[in-house]
Structure 1
Amino acid sequence: MEMILWILALLALVLGISRWRRAEPEVQAPPSALTATPAEPRRVPRDRLEAAAQSVAGGNPFRLDRVPAPLGFNQPGAGMMPGMPGMMPPPYEPPPPPRPQLFVSGIIGPPWQAMLEGVPGREGAVVVKRGDVLGDLRIREITQTVVVVASPDTTWRLPVRRPWQ
């Protein structure tokens, strides 16, 4: 009896393996993208390319209506503005000089005086009092915590600079 059971077990194993092999689909790997060669580009006759180039160049491709601009552009003459016959360009105005980076490193007093850094034409800190004029800068007011400095186009309210600022 034991022998029949071993034969049945072996037969079940063989049948299982054979069904499992038949149930597995055979899949073929796709060709590698590196080994595949690209399709040869389509050849266009030279005369058709030249005709297309003439069409593009003559049709103003960057204008919506594809026609030349109604206002032509002239070659600029000596001192004339391009495209504007008879008009002189506006005179060149240089940009204003950069504003100074002013810092107050300390205030002492009364009477209040301040140590001002970043003054144009001066190295290091300059001791100033109310009413002093340093080039275009005028010291308008000095209080215990703030120095007010005025220039022709700007007014600064400068607090005392802390070590971490």
Structure 2
Amino acid sequence: MSRGRWEAVLWVLALIFLVTGWSRWRGAVPEVPASAAAAEQAAPEAVRTPRGRLSVAARVVAAGDPFRLDRVPAPLGPVPAMPMGMMPGMPPAYVPPKPPPPPLLVSGIVGPPWGAVLEGVPGQQGGVLVHAGTRLGDLRVRSVTRERVIIVGPDTTWNLSVRKPWQP
């Protein structure tokens, strides 16, 4: 078969599938009678319901749990609000322990102007050279003197010194 014949066969098959699909779709959608279509287009009349009947109807609908598939209440009640970091099974008096403060060490103090080499700084490997006012995450170096380094954290203040000062 030539290329032209194959193309013609494929076009005929496509046309057959198109007609078949259209006829099945038309059969699946029911025809609307003309009188029903005209009735839908007319504006419905507003019906006034007494307040008491409406509240009774609302209670009946709410009692039937309309948003649950089996229309019965959930086996468990609502979960009470828990503080951040708490799991629903934990007793309310439980407070998770605070993480321990980082183990900061002073390797050396150099200067003037005074600077210190700190080890054990969170998020840093090795020694970090710091001066007064340096910020390391939520830690702040308050002061660096010849013998001491004072570091302030959110809930702790470290007063660090070199373990064995080097002497010439």
Range class of TM-score, shorter chain: 0.3 to 0.5
The structure with the greater share of residues assigned to helix is 2
TM-score normalised by the chain length of structure 2: 0.43
TM-score by length of structure 1 reads 0.44
